[in-house]
Amino acid sequence: MTDNKSDSSIEWASQAYALLKQKQELKKQEVQQKVEQQKVEQQKVEQQKLEQQKLEQLTAEVNKSDFSNLQKDTEVKLGEFDDDFTWSAMVLAAQGKKVNEISIDEIDWLSKLRRGLEETRKGFVSELLDKLGDDPLTPESLDDLETLLIRADVGIDSTDKVINSLRKKLNEEVVGGEEGIKFLKDELRAIIEKPIKNSGTNILIPQKGKLNVWLIVGVNGVGKTTTLGKLAYLSSKSNYKTLIAAADTFRAAAVEQLQVWGDRSNVDVISNQSKNADPAAVVFDAINAANKRKSDLLLVDTAGRLQNKNNLMDELSKIKKIIDKKVPDASIESLLVLDASQGQNGLKQAKSFAKSANLSGAIITKLDGTSRGGVSLAVSAEVNLPIRFIGAGEGIKDLRPFNSFEFIEALLADR
Ligand SMILES: Nc1nc2c(ncn2[C@@H]2O[C@H](COP(=O)(O)OP(=O)(O)OP(=O)(O)O)[C@@H](O)[C@H]2O)c(=O)[nH]1
Ligand SMILES: [Mg+2]
């Protein structure tokens, strides 16, 4: 699918591009109309209430904030009809999407993901393609592949698995370069899919009719708070009643940082500003608030901790106990945030955390600009954790539910 730009695929992509362009044009017009409408309404209000100076000012302020919201909604722009667009459109088409079903947001995200994984790819796919060329695979090219996979932080277990499968296939038949890449993609996808299939949940979304509590955990600075902010945006955009618990009472300004994300996504933050507040007490208050408001999802930010600090790991257990006690039928997820750029170190963290923190999934962040994106495979294979979301940037929209097909296509994109 990614190999040759056939005429029909370019045709498909240009149709998709034209449709998106039209959509964007329509959206622009719609926004303009709305803005015009608001302006007219504003004028009416001003005329009617000329004598009430104060009220007039308030109206202007309200209108000002409405405009900024409208502008925010159109902030993703359709870029050029270039390689990025064509590749992204093809990846969506390969998953059965129709031309009129794709959105600018999806194209934007895939382009970002592909660009983000460029560094990982550089030391891996480009060399792989150079080495394999169009010739059939040989035992020597398998040795090269082994080295490249290990270098891309894919991990020993996953690499062994892939190389053994390829070797077996080579013993049975001649495998061309192109077919080798396809086989490699299938094998890597199977590795990353396994824990997801085992969990019985394809994509993690809040369960209906009960409170969902998602604990965001991990070592210092991996991107927990940023990820939580992006999750709050995703979930409130998808109409889940969302609430944030500021249970990182350790780091200075942690609450303020969270409050900024809460404001951006229109989600309330429950916090306790007093010094040395107990994180479990914050969670206690947040559950009360969530119950009162009939929230669907409570996102809990926690302090960065090293997996070997027993007192801090105990603190996490205490938070979990409070949740179990107060809302025994809640659906609880403990999501470990891992910074992809930490490579094998991140893998070590995942292993230790998995032992002591009863994790249910992983979120890989900072996939933009690292050469170690392959570590996602090692997390799946060696820690058996389903990857639930991936982040590739610091913006509010730079986090998506994990899609193994898109990830492997981006990892092994050849142009
Ligand atoms: N490039 C990039 N930067 C990210 C991403 N996610 C988070 N960051 C940055 O990583 C830095 C740390 O992020 P935080 O969200 O504060 O990390 P944290 O895990 O909450 O940190 P502590 O609370 O101190 O443990 C910030 O500068 C973020 O902007 C990402 O996907 N890509
Ligand atoms: Mg934080």
Span 277-332, pLDDT tens digits = 899 999 999 999 999 999 999 999 998 877 667 777 788 889 999 999 999 999 99
Residues in contact with ligand 1 (CB, 6 Å cut-off): 218, 220-226, 248, 251, 254, 304, 365-366, 368, 391-394, 398
CA–centroid distance, 363 to ligand 1, in Å, is 12
3-state secondary structure at position 241: coil
Atom 7 in ligand 1: which residue has the minimum CA distance? Answer: 223
Q: How far is the CA of 98 from the centre of ligand 1 (A)?
A: 36
Model confidence at 234: pLDDT above 50? yes
Q: How many residues are listed for the chain in this entry?
A: 415
Taking alpha carbons only, the member of 332, 312, 406 closest to residue 107 is 406
CA 235 – CA 239 distance, rounded (Å): 6
Which tens digits make up the pLDDT trace of 143-174?
Answer: 888 888 888 888 888 899 999 998 998 888 88
Q: Which ligand is nearest to the CA of 349?
A: 1
Amino acid at 160: D
pLDDT of residue 351: 87
Distance CA 363, CA 356 (A): 18
DSSP H or E run through 146: helix 139-151
Other C-beta atoms within 10 Å of 327: how many?
A: 18
What is the percent of the chain where pLDDT is above 90? 41
- Note whether 76 and 27 are within 8 A (CB): no
Beta-strand ranges (E) seen in 199-291 are 212-217, 242-247, 268-270
Ligand 1 atom with the shortest distance to the CA of 398: 31
* Chain centroid to CA 292: 30
Q: 34: how many CB neighbours lie within 10 A of its CB?
A: 14
pTM of the model as a whole: 0.82
User: What's the average model confidence in pLDDT over 240-268?
Assistant: 93
Nearest ligand to the CA of 255 is: 2
Task: Give distance in angstroms: CA of 295 to centre of ligand 2.
Answer: 23
Angle at the Cα of 277 from the Cα atoms of 275 and 279, rounded to 5 degrees: 145
151 class by beta-carbon count within 10 Å (0-12 exposed, 13-18 middle, 19+ buried): middle
Per-chain mean pLDDT for the chain: 85
Q: How many whole angstroms from 339 Cα to the centroid of ligand 1? A: 9
Ligand (nearest to CA of 217): 1
